[in-house]
Structures are given as structure tokens and as C-alpha cells.
Amino acid sequence: MKRLAAAFAAALLICAGGATAIPSPVPNQAVIDGDTMPRKLSEFGLFQPGTTELAGGVAPYELHTPLFSDYADKARGIWMPGGMQAETGEDGRIAFPVGTVLIKSFSWAGHNGGKPVETRLLIHRKDGWTALPYVWDPDGRDATLAIGGRRVPVSFTEPDGTKQSISYAVPNKNQCKECHAEGGAIVPIGPKARNLVFAPKWQPFQAKRFVAPANRIAPLPRWNDPKSGSVAERARAYLDVNCAHCHNPKGSASNSGLFLRWTDDPEGVNYGIDKRPTAAGRGSGGMEFAIKPGDPDHSFLIYRLESLDPGIAMPELGRGAVHKEGAALLRQWISDMPEGKKN
């Protein structure tokens, strides 16, 4: 009888429009802070039970210029333990407190009804950041740890109307480290002060939980919005987000001598302009320079961005399709460079 009465009371609450009064579940901090790798994504409590909706207190956010990943739609979220704040340095890097989780889910409008295919977690534990990839079950009610990575067939339509079917690569745990490594440690890539965007509803959360630096940090241009910056500025923003996590002095591609950060690398040889390949090989396509001013067809940076050959394509991980629109922006940038430009 007690169970029946409870069920009846709950039904009355819903019928009366009082369902919103039921507290939204919050993440399980004990699991987040622990040293385990839960088999099911639901164990973290980061999503509403049985759904792909973020749990209460998990703040959705966007990026001015996101990393390209096979035309995937990405839903992002940040969870920080109650009362904790993130410190923003003068360079715009954000020091998230221990217990933070950065969440990124990948989906395609034309695939499986738009349900997520994968969710990646970047968890800040006491011994550093750890990356865990989860593949969603077909019904979208939970996801399973894919520590060894996974290949998932995905079909979608590109912006120009081209139909695509690819074998989407869910990275294994070590591949996550390859992109997120800096000086041997895993670090976040996308959420920097210059690239982070909160919807108006969540701006009070941003103001309360993020300690801003004394200097104002200008937002990164949106790569595909001409109103946000010049062709050169938007091209550099694109390279910073898509390439600089490896192509920096502490990244996994440091030995290339090609550094593509937004503000720290001048437009000279180290930025690729009139830069010869570090080692001869297929990656250069027989071309002399990473960027040959005025000549994108003879710039091997473009050659690699437009290739799907595993021994040539850049970035090496995270794509099974060519980002035609991004490559077009970089082509325009290089075409606009006066020949003989050195810096």
C-alpha cells in the first residue's frame, strides 16, 4: 500500500505540473575523484538517468572556433565541485580545480536520429588529468568505456550536400594522451579563456566560478565568421585550435619545428612560411615549403590537410574526412600572402 500511495503521489505531482520541483540529479563526486575507470558512463552521474541530457549543475558551453572532427556536432559541458573556482592566468589558460570534468559528446544529425555516438571525459584527479572515451549504446540510454578505442560506421551529409560514410575512430586512451600532452602531462585543449563561450543563461555561473585575470583577454575569432576577424586572423585561429596542441615547443610534434599557436608564434619560418620539411618523406609531397606565400597548391601544409592517406594526413588523429571549408580558408590565406613574404 505504501508503494502504491507513493506512486500515486508522484503521478499527482506530474499531472499538476509539479515535476520541475523534483531535484535534478547531480554528478557523483566520489566516482569522479576516485582512481577507477567505470565501465558505464552513468556511474559518474554526469547525465540525466537514461538520457543524453546533462545532469544538474553541469554547465554547457561552446567554443568560438572548435576542433574539426569529421563534421560532428559536439555538445560540451563542464562540471566543477560545489564552491570551487577555476583560476584564469594572464595567458588565458584556465587552471581547473581537482574534481573538474570536461565533457564532449559527438553526434551527427543524419546518424541514428542525432543520438550521440561517443562521449569523451577529461577528469582532473589529484594525480593529474585522465582521459576516458565512452561509446553510446544504440538506444542512447548509457555508454560503455572503450579503453582500447573503437571503429563506428557513421553516415552524414557534408555542408556542400556530399553524402559521406566513414569509419569513425573513437580514440584509445593512449591516443587521447597524444593530442592532450604538453611537456609529458595531459592538459585540456579547447576551453581557454579566449575560446570559451557560455550561453546567457550560464553566464552567472561563469562569473561566479571563473576567476578572471586583471587583463582583458580578447576572444578568438570564429574561423567561419568574416565579421569576427580578417582572413589571416581566422586562419591562425583555425591552426591554433586544430594543430597547435601538437605543434608547439612542448607538444608531441615539437621536433618538427613547426609551431602554430595563436599568439606565441610569429609568422616566420617556425610558423611554416618558407619552412622546409624537417625530414624528407611522403608528408611533404615533394614540395619545398610548408607554406609557400601566394601558392597554396605548392604548400605541403595544405597537401596534408586535404589528404586522407594515413601516412600523410594531418591532423594524424581524429578525422576520416577532409574539412573542405577549413582548407579553403587556409588556401585563401596563403593565396593572399605576397610572394617572398618572410614574416
* Total residue count of the chain as it appears in this document: 343
Name which of 10, 66, 19 is nearest 242 in CA terms: 66
By CB atoms closer than 10 A (0-12, 13-18, 19+), residue 23 is exposed
Q: Which three cell numbers stand for residue 14?
A: 506530474
Average pLDDT estimate for 38-65: 94
- pLDDT(23) > 60: no
- pLDDT(239) > 70: yes
Of the pLDDT bands very low, low, confident and very high (cuts 50, 70, 90), residue 341 is: low
Phi, psi (deg, nearest 5) at residue 315: -60, 155
pLDDT at 21: 42
Average pLDDT estimate for 299-325: 88
Name which of 324, 330, 343 is nearest 301 in CA terms: 330
Cell 553516415 sits on residue:
155
By CB atoms closer than 10 A (0-12, 13-18, 19+), residue 297 is exposed
Average pLDDT estimate for 79-91: 89
Determine the 3-state secondary structure of 87 from DSSP.
Answer: strand
By CB atoms closer than 10 A (0-12, 13-18, 19+), residue 30 is exposed
Of the segments 7-11, 53-57, 92-96, 324-328, which one has the largest average pLDDT value? 324-328
pLDDT at 8: 31
Domain boundaries, the chain: 26-219, 221-343
Q: What does the alpha-carbon distance between residue 95 and residue 197 come to, in Å, rounded to a whole number?
A: 17
Of the pLDDT bands very low, low, confident and very high (cuts 50, 70, 90), residue 4 is: very low
Q: Residue 279: CA atoms inside 13 Å, Cβ hemisphere, count? A: 6
Q: Which three cell numbers stand for residue 2?
A: 505504501
Name which of 195, 187, 197 is nearest 246 in CA terms: 187
Of the pLDDT bands very low, low, confident and very high (cuts 50, 70, 90), residue 253 is: confident
| Range scoring the smallest mean pLDDT among 41-45, 136-140, 277-281, 320-324 | 277-281
Average pLDDT estimate for 248-267: 81
pLDDT at 3: 35
Instruction: For residue 103, give Cα distances in angstroms to 124, 143, 290, 319.
Output: 12, 13, 34, 19
Cis peptide before 315 (omega within 30 of 0): yes
Q: Work out the end-to-end distance of the chain between its first and last CA atoms, rounded to an integer number of angstroms.
A: 80
Residue pLDDT, tens place only, 115-173? 999 999 999 999 999 999 999 998 889 999 999 888 999 999 999 999 989 999 898 87
pLDDT at 177: 66
pLDDT at 330: 97
Average pLDDT estimate for 293-309: 93
- pLDDT(79) > 70: yes
DSSP secondary structure string, 303-336? HHHT---TTT-SSSSS-SS--HHHHHHHHHHHHH
pLDDT at 265: 67
Report which secondary-structure segment, H or E, holds 73.
Answer: strand 73-79
Positive or negative, the CA dihedral 46, 49, 53, 58 is negative
Cell 566513414 sits on residue:
166
- pLDDT(12) > 50: no
Average pLDDT estimate for 238-267: 84
Average pLDDT estimate for 111-117: 90
pLDDT at 83: 83
Of the pLDDT bands very low, low, confident and very high (cuts 50, 70, 90), residue 10 is: very low
pLDDT at 139: 86
Phi, psi (deg, nearest 5) at residue 158: -75, 165
- pLDDT(233) > 90: yes
